[in-house]
Chain A
Amino acid sequence: MKGLIFSVKRYSVHDGPGIRVTFFMKGCPLSCRWCHNPEGLSPEPETVTRTDRIGDMEFFQNEQAGRYYAVGEILEIVERERVFIQQSDGGVTFSGGEPLMQTPFLAEALKACMSHGFHTAVDTSGYSPADNLTKIIPYTDLFLFDIKHLDDEVHLQQTSVSNSLILENLRILIDSGKDIILRIPLIPGMNDDPGHLLRLREFIIETRRDNVKRVSLLPYHAIGSSKYKRFNIDYRMSGIQPPSPRRMRELKDFFSETGIEVKTGG
């Protein structure tokens, strides 16, 4: 069984505790306007053009974005990082794209990592049949769960899908007792108006259980724009400025009133 992965990040320190290896899995059912990983959208390998520079000369080279990995290869990569993972109480994270789009592979990979003693995490949009989620729960130590917008209409408009399945899945996860970090992308003009922020905070207070360990605020950043060009996808976020550090500090204080630890980034 193989999984399609578009990027492997070592010394990944924002996708769960400690030093981790993060596998970015290709394919996503959502289409968020602010997505900074457009290469994760399509569930197929793609050919992109890479531009290399030698002095003033440019070289164009076709390159495949996305490659199929066997579970054994995943383990081999993680094993090579074992010393760092062990020393830092780190682990392995599957992110995306949406990893649950490749649930059979994901479950196998998580199981293998867990049986080799690695802490496992899954970074998910929560948009997947509940069945898929149940399949990976036993092999996942930590879920990084995105909450983008609580209003279904806005959610649909901004991400192209409804949030009802997502919120139901969150309930399942909370009931499973597994550790959860709630991740809130803060997108200026999309979900950061005072009304929505208050609603979000209320929602967190209502939903929280002991296994909700942290709220992570992920400020929008413009890293995606050049990538979009390469993937020939329209970039719909032009002109939007990332929130200032001061604003992030204010929001951190705001969400701290949930009683849960709040972190900016990761």
Chain B
Amino acid sequence: MIISERVKRLREQSLNAVETISAERAFLITQFYKSNEAGELSIPVKRAKAFEYILKNKQLCINADELIVGERGPGPKKTPTYPEICLHSLEDLEILSSREKVSFQVDEEVRKIYRNEVIPFWTGKSNRDRVMELMTPEWLNAYNAGVFTEFQEQRAPGHTVLGYKMFRCGFLQLKEEIREAKSALDYYNDGQAFEKNEQLKAMEIACDAIIMYAHRYADELVRIAEAENDPVRRTELMQMAAVCRKVPAHPPESIHEMLQHYWFIHIGVITELNPWDSFNPGRLDQHLYPVYMKEMKEGTLSKEQLYDLLGSFWVKFNNHPSPPKMGVTASESNTYTDFCLINLGGVKADGSDAVNEMSYILLDVIKDMRILQPSSMIQISKKSPDIFIHKALDIIRTGFGQPSCFNTEAIIQEMLRQGKTIEDARNGGASGCVETGAFGTEAYWLSGYFNLPKVLELTLNNGYDRKTGAQVGLKTGNAEDYLSFEDLIRAFRLQLNYLIDIKIRGNNVIEKTFSGWLPVPFLSLLVEDCISNGKDYNSGGARYNTTYIQGVGLGTITDMLTSLRYNVYDRRLVKPDELRKALEADFKGYEQLQHDLVYNTPKYGNDDDYADQHAVMVFEIYYDAVNGKPNTRGGVHRINMLPTTSHVYFGSVIGATPDGRKAGKPLSEGISPVQGADKQGPTSVLKSASKIDHMRTGGTLLNQKFSPAFFEDEDSYKCLTALIRSYFSLDGHHIQFNVVDAETLRDAQKHPELHRDLIVRVAGYSDYFNDLGEDLQNEIILRTEHGDV
């Protein structure tokens, strides 16, 4: 262990903190919106003033032992709500506090504030109300049937990562940039000049607000330093005060200043709104390395101090569960980690290997801290040394699920195809689960998961959804009406295009609600070129603006189509109407048929072209339906392939399927094969998964479960490294390893109390096994253990 007693205490503090709903932010934003001042302002300025009001009145928190200050709520794991986005009812709060998994404590004070202040003011006025009112009946039908989910229904857009600039620049300099942008406004030729001026005014207020917030901390630190008896801690507190006096107003010049600088920014972003896939520092090893070298040379920082600072920084992320949801999702969705994905390695802007000493230091921190957040990944380029991968495998083998492995060349190629400059592409990486982005310059919004197998189910049932009793798709016919496999595919394409268009229409309306009512002046400061464009992040101010729709269930739909072709059209084992009856009966009385579908039918994940051709087919149809369709921000829609946990929900809304899957069971996740369908080992899975064209996506997710046996010695490491590099040479985007044996997991289900620390890779992120729902737990157990094959 390299972590000190102090960091151990901080870690315990974070692990033991209880998730609690805090009504502080909801109360403050309501107070502000009710004030006379608020009524007089333009919307951007009003949002900036609201931000300032919260930061001015928000309770400060300085935890014992810590070196980096600032919390999202009044204390660790005290989690704010965002009534302007979505309004929790008293019933929602009840569910959150009483649900079995990941509950949030709700005390009487919170209920009172909600009852008396928040609910009366925001009822009918939250953005969710606005969005739901604007959606068409077709959208609502498809949404209710589970064809897609909507990311921006309960959270704000904001899939963005901090880039190089913000680690080198203070907010006073940003104010200078704003002044320049203002003076460059051309009221003679630019019809938008007035609006731009309002945006810039708002950004300026946001600059002052974050500096003011840091200074409040500086004052408070001095105050408690003076009362501190321990002279060592007193000096520390005074130093922390000096840091808060300096950053984020001025550029950070030491590791301590850099980490605190970033953390104020982080708090700013997640206080302003609740953006999806929480904001993160991105290429942290690159940002810290030059300053680290300078400090080492000048002798201003010892290794012990460095690890204390990093440990103190690390727990900050873990203190922040993402804001809990409302309505149906309050009981259903139980993954509440925010998705901070720290990138290590990759290449520099000039294309050379970026792995440096700080990459290894941070790997050590990840290994020893062993906490859920922040999550981490390594970018592996052709130039990365093997030892870098081996060091990561050292952590992966412990079953921690981190770091995940990404293909730098793929990330770069994906971005170049999207028209980014080579420097922006090389400075980018992946965030959230696996999403490719240009760090510091791109607003890449995820708009929702898309249930591909559901579309095929609708295609087999004349567009009618049995579960909701609604005509969701087009009337293209029933299973028995398709005389050939080609007929079926034609109908599937029509259905998919129709449903994607519904989703895109929805996206383009929802984006406008954020642009119109919920601009984010603070976030706009951080993403180039919002200032010079005089445009908000939510209105297309960023250099690049992309909207993603995430395809889910590739493995399942591939097996469905393969089974239909093999058993209905090629072998004629079963007639389409008979198959439909079997599916409607959930295979009751058709068990022999189900057996054939499960055990005697080709499956995706075995490097079998007969099956895999359908993955490519679905991919191409999906790509054609989405890619290049304009969004409202001057960019376009694109696809990526990742599920988070939606494959469980999406499975629950689909009846039995032609691949032998029973009704309601989870779908396959990411681009991984159906759980248990891969019988030829990992190389065949990777071959199958590489047949789709990853380069035309913004990220794909492949989960590979290994038993610890695969990590036993140096030879195993070499083979795993070769396995990863091989997949990447086939243009695979991402692979992650779940290292744990099924027996342990089964035991954890039986005796959760003995396995509280068991972390597993779910799908692009890790979570505590105990916090997962039973189906998800079962699914993880089912995933093929290649070690036992």
Contact = CB atoms under 8 A, between A and B. Distances in A.
Interface stretch (A5-13, A125-133, A146-154): A5-13
A84 B591 contact: no
A18 B595 CA distance: 37
B113 interface: no
Is the interface on chain B under 10, 10 to 19, 20 to 34, or 35 or more residues? 20 to 34
Nearest to A52: B599
Interface in B596-640: 598-600, 607
A59 B599 contact: yes
A84 B723 contact: yes
B729 interface: yes
A242 B227 CA distance: 64
B729 A19 contact: no
A87 B681 contact: no
Nearest to A9: B681
A54 B723 CA distance: 33
Contact of A80 (B587, B687, B729): B687
A108 interface: no
A265 B787 CA distance: 14
B786 interface: yes
A54 B591 contact: yes
A10 B587 CA distance: 34
B595 A83 contact: no
A164 B557 CA distance: 58
Nearest to A59: B595
Given A59-B599, A88-B718, A54 B725 contact: no
A61 interface: yes
Nearest to A266: B715
Given A10-B680, A57-B591, A87 B599 contact: no
Given A18-B722, A80-B607, A88-B719, A54 B594 contact: yes
B726 interface: yes
What's the dominant secondary structure at chain A's contact region? mixed
A44 interface: no
Interface in B217-262: none
Contacts of B595: 52, 54, 59
A83 B786 contact: no
A46 interface: no
A11 B723 contact: yes
A11 B681 contact: yes
A192 interface: no
A81 B729 CA distance: 13
Classify the interface of chain B: helix, strand, loop or mixed.
Answer: helix
B197 interface: no
A57 B594 CA distance: 11
Interface in A21-59: 52, 54, 57, 59
B596 to A, nearest CB: 9
A118 B786 CA distance: 24
B2 to A, nearest CB: 27
B192 interface: no
B4 interface: no
B598 A10 contact: no
B126 interface: no
Nearest to A17: B715
Contact of A13 (B660, B719, B726, B730): B719
A88 B386 CA distance: 12
B141 interface: no
B601 to A, nearest CB: 12
A83 B726 contact: yes
Contact of B722 (A59, A87, A265): A87
A219 B600 CA distance: 35
Contacts of A83: 726, 729-730
Given A54-B591, A83-B726, A87-B726, A61 B599 contact: yes
B683 A84 contact: yes
Interface in B157-201: none
Given A52-B595, A87-B726, A13 B681 contact: no
Interface in A56-70: 57, 59, 61
Nearest 3 A/B pairs, CB to CB: A88-B722, A11-B681, A87-B722
Interface of A: 9-11, 13, 17-19, 52, 54, 57, 59, 61, 80-81, 83-84, 86-90, 263, 265-266
6 contacts: A19-B726, A57-B591, A61-B600, A83-B730, A87-B722, A88-B719
